[in-house]
Amino acid sequence: MKIIIAGGTGFLGENLKEYFRTKGNQVYILTRKPKHEHEMYWDATHIGEWSHKLESCDVLINLTGKSVDCRYNDKNKKEIYSSRIESTRVLQKAVDQCTDKPKI
């Protein structure tokens, strides 16, 4: 299977990546700081080069967003919320442009 994980460089994303790879899947990570093969730059606000990887993708997982490991003041709560909503909107726009959309 071809699996794309947006925001997949954190604790959960790293574990999912390793789990899926040990099962023989192709895993691609969308991240602001690509460092390894199969990692692609994305800023979570714009459609970019990464969007072509969504074609014929089996699974798209969005883990993008401001860390919840912070004080829950009004500013941080707004960033936690908006970072997840905006990244989901960008991913949906990219999916809408696909000829062969992700299955899950």
Stretch 53-57: mean pLDDT, rounded?
95
CATH class belonging to 2-96: alpha beta
pTM of the predicted protein model: 0.91
Name all contacts of 6-9 with Cβ < 8 Å and 24+ positions apart.
6/30, 6/42, 6/44, 6/60, 6/61, 6/62, 6/63, 6/64, 6/87, 6/91, 7/31, 7/44, 7/62, 7/63, 7/64, 7/65, 7/87, 8/61, 8/63, 9/33, 9/39
Stretch 35-54: mean pLDDT, rounded?
94
Cα(64)–Cα(88) distance, rounded to whole angstroms?
Answer: 8
Tell me what percent of the residues of the chain surpass a pLDDT of 70. 100
Give me the residue spans of the domains in the chain.
2-96
pLDDT of residue 68: 87
pLDDT of residue 62: 97
